[in-house]
């Protein structure tokens, strides 16, 4: 069974909002259907509203499953793309999310992202696996993950500090 990485709530069709919480970091993203559909959302039937919220839930929520990615940033990027009228972003010409391998290769080699993407695009699956296992890539990936973990810890600590006190009844 896959590990649950986000909480989702799309139950309130009248509000027209799908809420996501990244479990590890506590980061929250709210996706308001009216941002994409405007007041037309309010004219949809209940079934129409449920379909819209389901689509947002699936599309944005699926982004959290992207391997080696910052879940919150992946979901936010997907939502921003939808708001801007783009269903899918392809990794051509520098567009799209930067993968952990790409970011690590940029750090390890000092090459541009475009050069790294072009190089990786020409590799076989076996060569990509070998690149992933290169010691410099593994070290850069560890640094990137540590930086993201530190940022997530900072965000979670701030959220905990700002949260209402936790009380447990006797």
What average pLDDT does the structure give for the chain? 85
Please give the average per-residue pLDDT across 8-34, as a whole number: 91
Q: What pLDDT sits at residue 29? A: 92
Q: What pLDDT sits at residue 153? A: 84
- Residue among 112, 100, 114 nearest 143 (CA): 100
2 — pLDDT class (breaks 50, 70, 90):
low
Contact (Cβ atoms closer than 8 angstroms) between residue 137 and residue 101: yes
Tokens of 167: 């009380």
Q: What pLDDT sits at residue 6? A: 87
Q: What pLDDT sits at residue 30? A: 93
Q: What pLDDT sits at residue 150? A: 81
Q: What is the spatial distance between Cα 89 and Cα 45, in angstroms, rounded to a whole number?
A: 30
Residue 95: pLDDT over 70 = no
Residue 94: pLDDT over 50 = no
Compute the residue count for the chain.
170
Distances (CA, A) of 47 to 50, 60, 71: 5, 20, 29
Q: For tokens 């994409």, what's the residue?
A: 36
Please spell the DSSP secondary structure of 130-155, one letter per residue: HHHTSHHHHHHHHHHHHHHHHHHHHH
Please give the average per-residue pLDDT across 6-18, as a whole number: 91
- Residue among 81, 71, 70, 85 nearest 144 (CA): 70
Q: What is the spatial distance between Cα 150 and Cα 144, in angstroms, rounded to a whole number?
A: 10
User: What pTM does this model have?
Assistant: 0.53
Q: What pLDDT sits at residue 1? A: 54
Residue 42: pLDDT over 60 = yes
Q: What is the spatial distance between Cα 85 and Cα 82, in angstroms, rounded to a whole number?
A: 5
């Amino acid at each position: 069974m896959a590990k649950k990485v986000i909480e989702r709530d799309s139950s309130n069709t009248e509000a027209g909002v799908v809420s996501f919480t990244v479990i590890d970091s506590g980061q929250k993203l709210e996706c308001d259907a009216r941002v994409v559909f405007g007041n037309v959302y309010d004219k949809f039937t209940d079934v129409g509203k449920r379909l819209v919220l389901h689509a947002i839930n699936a599309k944005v929520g699926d982004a959290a499953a992207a391997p080696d990615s910052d879940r919150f940033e992946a979901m936010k990027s997907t939502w921003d793309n939808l708001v801007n009228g783009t269903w899918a972003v392809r990794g051509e010409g520098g567009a799209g999310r930067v993968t952990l391998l790409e970011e690590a290769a940029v750090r390890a080699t000092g090459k541009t992202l475009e050069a790294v993407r072009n190089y990786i695009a020409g590799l076989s699956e076996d060569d990509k696996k070998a690149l992933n296992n290169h010691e410099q890539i593994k070290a850069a990936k560890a640094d990137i993950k540590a930086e993201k973990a530190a940022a997530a810890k900072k965000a979670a600590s701030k959220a905990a500090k700002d949260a209402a006190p936790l009380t447990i009844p006797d």
